[in-house]
Structure 1
Amino acid sequence: MNNSVTSATYIRNLSYTLRRRLSDFLDPQDRWKDVVVSIRKPGGELRYSQHHMRRFEGLVAQGRSPTEELLNDWGTTNSTVGELVDILRSHKLLAAASVLLPVQEASLAERQPACPVVAIESALPTRPLQERETQLPPVSPTLQPLILQESSEPGFSSFLYNELMEITGNFDNRPMSDGGSRLGEGGFGTVYKGVLNDKPVAVKKLNPMDDISSDELQVQFHQEIQTLKVLKHENLVDMVGFSCDGQHPCLVYAFMANGSLLDRLACLDDSPPLSWQRRCLIAEGTARGLEYLHCNHHVHRDVKSANILLDENLVAKISDFGLTRASARRTSTTMMTERIVGTRAYMAPEALRGEITPKSDVFSFGVVLLEILSGLPPASENQEPQFLMEFVYDIDDEDEDLTLEEFLDKKMTDWELSQVETVYSLASNCLHDRKNRRPVIKEVASELKGVVKSLSLA
């Protein structure tokens, strides 16, 4: 919900962030269609025809958001947030409505019983595509005991919540630059720096959010522990331990001195620009980490530059495994989920339909490669097109003025054209709308290894 938005606010004046949040609710399962068929002209007739509907549907195949296009089009009239919210509530799309305006108490009463159900379903093994019609396995009653038993696992420590409060200055929310402990926002929580046995650590305090229940937060907490317990690789972040006895569940990781790839590409805090050689090494390391995940039948589901952390030697470490899913049959087949998760600017078309497949991680990594090449953010209201993945259309279109050389990060001076062309071609292949036309991550890692090898020979 945004406090600056009222029922009288024109839809055309909604911020980019709010439009994106709405699309995250309405794009999956084509819920935007419920809105389209409810929009009327002043005379009472339908505003949108079947022709319009097909045009909106065509955007999905391009990896674009039909909800955003609908809001852009409908916003050319004097339509208001109040009208949109009324439509959303009439179709029981209460979570989407609450993005814009407070949900009435009656609506809240209808919504609340669903929260535990969502959390329970997301804790179950995700079903392979061919098993969509089979009965769900019984819910395990042992979620909380499983979490508590983690202290007996080798390599993990169980901390008291009060201990983590002490080493983070009572979770001092001031940024590090202002003398506080906050490093930034991580998946489902805030990350703080602490010192444990004379070694720096990062403590992620998980916080309930508007669209995430406390039960579901426990599921993400449990999922991250389970994933990092069984998966160990030099390009995956190291977990030190956890705490589950206090007000908030907490995860403790090895401290990453150079923060996230997203921040380093943006030269946040006046950090120096990453060289072309270093960017290639980071790309290769990330690909090897993903290859390890996929070889072990795990799909990350939220690959992005903010989740690629860099240690003191700028070695890439993939982080945030709360959304990671393992195949129920330990295979890499496509699976289905009823909850669409991830970050829209990185999501493959099939991910928006609820499919979970390793090829979706490959698509997201294609966006990361574009970030590495350009230094641009994955999405921005201040760039055209707003989504970085759409720059590929302009670069590849001979009628457009944008060239690959112009697309490159101007802060990077040591690049070599043939290497840049190889990485760009790889990114384009990763971003193919049809998942079967994308390379597998092993091929991506091999290609990047060749680029890194050519760097050492230059």
Structure 2
Amino acid sequence: MDSSVTSATYVRNISYSLRRKLSDCLDPYETWRDLIVALRKPNGEPRYTQHHVRRFEGLVAQGKSVTVELLNDWGTTNSTVGELVDILRSLNLLAAANLLLPEVLSKETQQVSSVKAEKCPPTLLLGEAPNPPAGSSLQTQTLLDDGGDDTGVSRFLYGELMRITRNFDDRSISDGGSRIGAGGFGTVYKGLLDSRLVAVKKLSPMEDMPLESLQLQFNQEIQTLKVLKHQNLVDMVGFSSDEQHLCIVYALMANGSLLDRLACLDGSPPLSWQLRCFISEGAARGLEYLHSNHHVHRDVKSANILLDENYVAKISDFGLTRASANRTSTTMMTERIVGTRAYMAPEALRGEVTPKSDVFSFGVVLLEILSGLPPADEKQEPQFLMEFRYDIDDEDEELTLEDFVDKKMSDWTKGQVESIYCLASNCLHERKNRRPVIKQVLSEIHSVVKTIFLDSQ
């Protein structure tokens, strides 16, 4: 690496020799496609359209490096090496990132290695307080999975999480506190961990949920996020379980939840139709990854679809997730009915756990994206958003699809909206075997996104 390259270096100033080394990492297996999708405009919309992608594809036939040409083009903006490295790391393209800033990444590796070099304490039962080695100044301990391999997930002391959240300051962010929001199983706080913004979810027992059940969900989420890694799943940094306090630490999602952005909470601007379709495609991609790995989320909803600084959708909240014991995506039964009523499929209310229930819930999310309305509202008729489709499909009712579409966006076309609405209706079919699988859902959304790109030319 050129020693003059820093995080602040403009991409356009990267030397040609270094660009060629990057191309050796990204051109094989067309990994550059992941990078081009991740590049965003300041407003969060894709920087490159399908037309651009086809143009870059043509370079391959000419014997040119797509990576080099992509960096040449993106480098005409004020993009920096730091931004590029962050994107490469988010895509798990660590070899390419290391070519640009090896010193920074090696320091992180050394920190992890130094933790591994310490004698690891025995695994603690939940609620059991750890006894750190005498004289040790370590704040975290690397969590090892059952096979003994490093997962890169840290185990934090509760006191450390108190420090970075300012004692879990319960005032909202707008009031100078640390509280980001509250969910069904706890409160989320903003923290600063080694110059990295994180979200700390502090789980809380409820009247209808004893501590044992909460610990079970805590364990479930940790084990799921240790095993499953994807650009459309939330990234877990670590957890804490000492002093009977259960906390999970995630990378902070700068744009909050899809639910809040659709409601324009805190004065955020309305999401454009193009951006909504991009978000829905990312969420569907995350679900497709879960289902292909034999997991059922069981609580798919807009509040559990988080958005990073580039509006990339990240599915979160895996405390209710179930993995198929026989590694197949078949229906399982459970005595405990869980989920959010406004999103629940008929069979989920009977205790069936199946991927098609996630598809049903995602159908409600698509209706939210179309309308900007909440999933349930006691003041509206009908109360549940999923039931609006009966009025829309009934010619005797006054409600039309055009009336249903969110008035806060203007860049939609009738054909695209009809495609997403029909897809949502198919997802919401009462009979699960009549619903599409998530791979089909993803394919249809991708077709709409492709149409948007073509129409923008």
TM-score (norm 1): 0.68
CA contact (8 A) 2:344 2:361 kept: yes
Q: Could you say what secondary structure the match of 2:220 adopts? A: helix
Indicate which of 197, 200, 205 corresponds to 2:202: 205
Q: Does 1:250 align with 2:247?
A: yes
Q: Distance in 2 between matches of 1:249 and 1:419?
A: 44
Q: Distance in 1 between matches of 2:349 and 2:255?
A: 32
Q: Distance in 2 between matches of 1:343 and 1:150?
A: 34
| Distance change (3 Å), C-alpha of 1:145 and 1:377 | closer
Q: Could you say what secondary structure the match of 2:269 adopts? A: coil
Q: Distance in 2 between matches of 1:439 and 1:240?
A: 34
- Deviation of residue 382 (structure 1)? 1.4
CA RMSD, Structure 1 to Structure 2 (Å)? 1.6
Instruction: Name the amino acid aligned to 2:258.
Output: L
Q: Does 1:368 align with 2:360?
A: no
CA contact (8 A) 1:187 1:322 kept: no
Q: Could you say what secondary structure the match of 1:251 adopts? A: strand
Deviates more, 1:393-402 or 1:180-189: 180-189
CA contact (8 A) 2:127 2:243 kept: no
1:292-331, CA deviations, whole angstroms, 9 ceiling, x for partnerless residues? Answer: 0000000000000000000000000000000000001011
Q: Residue 357 of structure 1 aligns with which residue? A: 354
Indicate which of 161, 165, 168 corresponds to 2:162: 165
Q: Distance in 2 between matches of 1:174 and 1:246?
A: 23
| Distance change (3 Å), C-alpha of 1:209 and 1:150 | farther
Q: Residue 434 of structure 2 aligns with which residue? A: 437
Instruction: Name the amino acid aligned to 1:441.
Output: I
Unpaired stretches in structure 2, ≥5 consecutive residues? 1-122, 131-140, 145-149
- Deviation of residue 144 (structure 1)? 3.0
Matches within 5 A, 1:29-428: 144=125, 151-152=143-144, 153-428=150-425
Q: Distance in 1 between matches of 2:328 and 2:241?
A: 32
- Deviation of residue 247 (structure 1)? 3.8
Q: Could you say what secondary structure the match of 2:191 adopts? A: strand
Q: Could you say what secondary structure the match of 2:256 adopts? A: coil
- Deviation of residue 357 (structure 1)? 0.2
Q: Distance in 1 between matches of 2:327 and 2:225?
A: 16
Unpaired stretches in structure 1, ≥5 consecutive residues? 1-141
CA contact (8 A) 2:331 2:354 kept: yes
Instruction: Name the amino acid aligned to 2:392.
Output: I
Higher RCO (CA-CA < 8 Å; seq separation 6+)? 1
Q: Distance in 1 between matches of 2:181 and 2:127?
A: 29
CA contact (8 A) 1:186 1:320 kept: no
**Aligned pair count?**
317
- Deviation of residue 248 (structure 1)? 1.5
CA contact (8 A) 1:187 1:320 kept: no
1:175-207, CA deviations, whole angstroms, 9 ceiling, x for partnerless residues? Answer: 000000000013411000000010100000000
Among all aligned residue pairs of Structure 1 and Structure 2, give the percentage whose two residues are the same amino acid.
Answer: 77
Q: Could you say what secondary structure the match of 1:144 adopts? A: coil
Instruction: Name the amino acid aligned to 2:391.
Output: D
Deviates more, 1:246-255 or 1:336-345: 246-255
| Distance change (3 Å), C-alpha of 1:195 and 1:432 | same
Q: Could you say what secondary structure the match of 2:125 adopts? A: helix
Q: Residue 17 of structure 2 aligns with which residue? A: none
Q: Distance in 1 between matches of 2:125 and 2:351?
A: 27
1:229-265, CA deviations, whole angstroms, 9 ceiling, x for partnerless residues? Answer: 1100000000000001124110000000000000000
CA contact (8 A) 1:264 1:273 kept: yes
CA contact (8 A) 2:306 2:313 kept: yes
Q: Could you say what secondary structure the match of 1:151 adopts? A: strand
CA contact (8 A) 1:162 1:246 kept: no
